[in-house]
Amino acid sequence: MQPSRLSKRTAIRLKRSARGGQRPPTAPLHPPLLVVPIPAPAPSPSAPVPARAYKLVQRAARTTRTVVQVGDARIGGTAPVLIGGPCSVESEEQVLATASAVRSAGGQILRGGAFKPRTSPYAFSGLGEEGLRLLALARARTGLPVVTEVITPEDMALVSRYADMLQVGSRNMQNYPLLRAVGRSGMPILLKRGLAATIEEWLLAAEYILAEGNDQVVLCERGIRGIDTTLRNQLDLSAVPLLRELTHLPVIVDPSHATGRRSLILPVSLAAVAAGANGLIIEVHPEPDQALSDAAQAVDFACFAEIGRGVRGVAAAAAGYYL
């Protein structure tokens, strides 16, 4: 009850009772009580979806955090998992050399795009199945499991024959038929944040996958559109600890697409791990300037190795803060 003085009358706002009724107080009042029911405001179409809209992904849905197993890598386990590889698979030589450098640097998963969703229809869009075959060859040589992007539900069967983890890219975060299809696949899924998606939209996209019975989902913060175009995107680093509060799913960071700038990949990687990220996904190329896609953000093998060392140091210092 909240009394407030309005000229000569006293207005008392009554909260709805637990049983849903609105009853006036029984004590005698003078002048007599006038009860005016005030209907709840109709939800506006732009009002945020209530937090309970996502059920299966919310932190409270589980007693423990979800660990996503990809080959021998455990994303969401005790140590951050390093994923590295080229933006696009370009040739056998390129992918085999990169896979071996990734493994030597302590990387646990190889990335590489075979089906590339490019902003321009004229840009290199990947080698398709040949790219998948080269990734599988690199896995056979190094033992590293492979994550690669699937861009349509029709490609699902093909890509899952070669991949250990399916990536749903930023441009497809709200492609609901694709989300349902990867949910039904039962494979580990890397769900990147949409180019301009809110945390809630992102968690609801993950909810689509869990609603199909697949809880092997890793969220990947890769920067969002902001007002400043100096960098490719704006990395939302606070999303990392926030998501640890909101969901039981593991969260990794992609400093490559977040910044678009080679010189920033090392410091941003260290910051992401300090903030509690369960891993990193980084674009690596034997000759970064020659990369057919995303050259400006690709790091060379020496830089990737330095990132591996730095990340292990920060993870050791941060251990105990994030359980």
Q: Does 258 bind Mn ion (CB under 5 A)?
A: no
Quickly list DSSP for 86-146: -SB---HHHHHHHHHHHHHTT--EEE-BSS---SSTTS----THHHHHHHHHHHHHH---E
Q: Residue 103 CB, nearest distance to ligand PEP (Å)?
A: 20
| Residues whose CB falls within 8 Å of the CB of residue 92, separated by 6 or more in sequence, listed in order | 134, 137
Stretches 1-9, 36-44, 156-164, 169-177: which one binds ligand PEP (CB under 6 A)?
169-177
Q: At residue 32, what are phi and psi to the nearest 5 degrees?
A: -55, 150
| Separation of alpha carbons 87 and 73, rounded Å | 21
Q: Does 87 bind Mn ion (CB under 5 A)?
A: yes
Q: Does 113 bind ligand PEP (CB under 6 A)?
A: yes
Q: Does 84 bind ligand PEP (CB under 6 A)?
A: no
Stretches 9-17, 43-51, 216-224, 291-299: which one binds Mn ion (CB under 5 A)?
291-299
Q: Residue 146 CB, nearest distance to ligand PEP (Å)?
A: 13
Q: Does 257 bind ligand PEP (CB under 6 A)?
A: yes
Q: Does 285 bind ligand PEP (CB under 6 A)?
A: no
Task: Pull the structure tokens for residue 133.
Answer: 């075959």
Q: Does 259 bind ligand PEP (CB under 6 A)?
A: no
Quickly list DSSP for 7-75: TTEEEEEPPPPTTS-----SS--SSPP-----PPPPPPTTSPPPGGG--SSBGGG-SS---EEETTEEE
Q: Residue 112 CB, nearest distance to ligand PEP (Å)?
A: 9
Name which position in 57, 115, 162, 222 contacts ligand PEP (CB under 6 A). Answer: 222
Task: Pull the structure tokens for residue 233.
Answer: 């995107």
Binding letters toward Mn ion, positions 120-159, x by CB under 5 A: ----------------------------------------
86, 298 Cβ separation under 8 angstroms:
yes
Q: Does 169 bind ligand PEP (CB under 6 A)?
A: yes
| Separation of alpha carbons 308 and 317, rounded Å | 14
Q: Which does 222 bind (CB under 5 to 8 A by kind): ligand PEP, Mn ion, none?
A: ligand PEP
In terms of CB distance, is 103 or 171 closer to ligand PEP?
171
Name which position in 87, 132, 134, 307 contacts ligand PEP (CB under 6 A). Answer: 87
Q: Does 294 bind Mn ion (CB under 5 A)?
A: yes
Tell me how many residues contact ligand PEP (CB under 6 A): 9
Stated as kind and residue range, the H or E segment containing 252 is: strand 251-253
SS3 189: strand
Angle, CA of 240, 291 and 101, to the nearest 5°:
70
Q: Residue 291 CB, nearest distance to Mn ion (Å)?
A: 9
Q: Residue 126 CB, nearest distance to ligand PEP (Å)?
A: 10
Binding site for Mn ion (CB under 5 A): 87, 294
Contact set with ligand PEP (CB under 6 A) = 87, 113, 169-171, 192, 222, 254, 257
